[in-house]
Amino acid sequence: MTSLTVIVTLFGLFACYLAYVSRLRASAKLLILPTFMISVVVGYMYFLEEIGKPASIPLPEEAAYVAHRITNEDTIIVWLMTEEGERLYVIPYTRETAKELEEAREGSQEGKSQSITAEEGQNGEQSIKSDGEIIGFEYRNITK
């Protein structure tokens, strides 16, 4: 996030420099900096709003189950951990998926690490299987 802020700031300073040395009218030069500042603030607010939302992308083939929550009986939010890191996913609600995830929840409450396997169906739908096996993902403690 810090590198993104630095890049945007340098780009803005460069744009202001180009506007200053250009042969534009003074009124056009005065509009460049406020326009840039407003676009940066709006972009930053949008980024902060979207950063914590679950991804509506296909599930990874294999992941470690962390938690899930059923929302309004039409979607399920699943928290999975892969080799790349942790992520929230949104998947459509089905009874079979809810049952598999509930079995994974019960297994994790018993202290067993749960593995989730997603398989592609005929219509592009994914099915989930919880096998309760420990898979080799190392949990990183981020509260150092």
Pairwise CA distance, residues 119 & 133, whole Å: 17
Residues 10, 44: one domain? Answer: yes
Q: Which residue has the tokens 């679950």?
A: 54
Give the range of the structural domain holding residue 97, as residue numbers without chain letter. 62-130
Residues 35, 84: one domain? Answer: no
Pairwise CA distance, residues 11 & 93, whole Å: 44
The tally of domains found in the chain comes to 2
pLDDT 10s digits, 125-135: 666 777 654 44
pLDDT 10s digits, 52-83: 778 778 888 888 888 899 887 688 888 888 88
pLDDT 10s digits, 103-131: 888 888 888 778 888 777 666 666 677 76
pTM of the model: 0.58
List the structure tokens of 73: 């009986």
Residues 108, 68: one domain? Answer: yes
